[in-house]
Amino acid sequence: MKKLHILVLCTGKPSKRLIQAIESRGHTYEYFEPSELYLVISDEINKNDRVYFQESKKFKPKLLDLKVYNAIVTRIGNGGEYAYTVLEHLTKNLGIYSVQNANANRIASHKGWTSQLVSVAGLRSPKTILFKEPKDIDFMVEQVGPFPIVLKTPRGSQGSGVALMENKQQLTSTLELLHSKSVETLLQQYIEGGGTDYRVIVLNGKVLCTMKRTSADGFKANLSKKGKGELVKLSKEHEEFCIKASKAIDLDFAGVDVMISDKDGKIYLIEINSNPGCKSIEICEHNWFLDWIELLEEKVLGKLSIPSSSRKVESSLEVEKKLSADDLLAISATQKVEKAYRENFWYLG
């Protein structure tokens, strides 16, 4: 049986579901934080570009033997710009295969850029206005109003950096505050969808599963904001919309977020995530990391290494039993740091 040795590029500890998927298929992996890597671009014509790894200042940078890696899996969260540069270096300069590409990740990380390309592709998103300075509030409201209006920081995630503006006074004071802190913002039309949206997991032009999310406050449906999730099946037309949206930004693996208007039943693209959270795995009972790893097998090895695996997930408790105490401690610490960052520093994007 041919095996893959996978380089996992992640900001934080790899998900237990990802580890489970890699190991259940008989493969091995190593993971690296992008911030721990040095990228060296050679002046030689034969392209002797390289990557060095430095875990901490206590150790000297170590040259990585990148020939041992067959493929890359990315899990890039907040602060990903340098991570995208690393991914570009690994894939284009050094030729390691990845389902994801750096430019598509960059686009997905910015809600404004995503809306631009989705519009080019002829897909509907809420009316949006991008701006450098909020000089004419009345004009901006005319483009996306009436109130309420959605204010967003383009690079927020998991519901952070998103607020509902009920009137001009609230909007003006909020924009003034954020602009004084040099925080980039955009405004969008409010879509009445009953506090519900849909997270659609798309891989290689196919919908793997769909999670309906219902908000606890009538606005944000993110599970990180106490929203509730359930497995659903969208219509073929709506699934095709999500596939086209991921293709519009050239993202082969994506969590596509859409809303369906209560007024006219039209579907709207809200955002596209290159690093969707794993809660949809538990709620939909479908470990889409297995689909990802099997796609790597087909692309790199030319065939599946073993027969296709069941996507049915074990309970979280069963998976945790298979992880070491150090693994669980690291995962817990990472989650606590990420939670504190989202709650207290959302305005930094």
Determine what percent of the chain is predicted with pLDDT higher than 70.
Answer: 86
Q: What is the pairing mode between strands 149-152 and 128-130? A: unpaired
Instruction: Answer whether CATH 3.40.50.20 is correct for domain 5-107+287-315.
Output: yes
Q: What is the mean pLDDT of residues 10-33?
A: 96
What's the pLDDT score for residue 208? 98
Give pLDDT, residue 1: 67
Band of the pLDDT at 235, cuts 50, 70, 90?
very high
127-190 is classed CATH 3.30.1490.20: yes
Question: Mind listing the pLDDT tens digit for each residue in 326-339?
Answer: 555 544 444 444 44
Backbone angles phi, psi at 208, to 5 degrees: -90, -40
pLDDT at 340 over 60: no
| Contact call for residues 275 and 281 (beta carbons, < 8 A) | no
pTM for this model (two decimals): 0.87
Where is pLDDT greater, at 207 or 2? 207
What mean pLDDT is reported for the chain? 89
- More confidently predicted of 85 and 322: 85
Helix (H, G, I), strand (E, B) or coil at 144: helix
Q: What is the pLDDT of residue 200?
A: 98
Average pLDDT over residues 125-131: 98
140: number of Cβ within 10 Å: 18
The pLDDT value recorded for residue 241 is 98
- Side chain identity at 164, as an amino acid letter? L
Secondary structure letter of residue 57 according to DSSP: T
Q: In the chain, which residues fall in CATH 3.30.470.20?
A: 193-273
Alpha-carbon distance of 138 to 136, in angstroms, equals 6
> Mean of the pLDDT values across residues 62-73?
97
pLDDT band at 318 (very low <50, low <70, confident <90, very high): low
Reported confidence tier of residue 344, pLDDT bands at 50, 70, 90: very low
Q: What residue ranges of the chain are covered by domains with CATH 3.40.50.20?
A: 5-107+287-315
Please give the pLDDT value at position 329. 52
Residue span(s) of the chain under CATH 3.30.1490.20 come to 127-190
pLDDT reading at 195 higher than 60: yes
CATH hierarchy code of domain 193-273: 3.30.470.20
What percent of the chain is predicted at pLDDT more than 90? 76
Q: Which amino acid belongs to residue 273?
A: N
pLDDT tens digits for range 33-44: 999 999 999 998
- The CA-to-CA distance between both ends of the chain, in Å, stands at 44
pLDDT of residue 164 exceeding 70: yes
Which residue has tokens 């939670």? 339
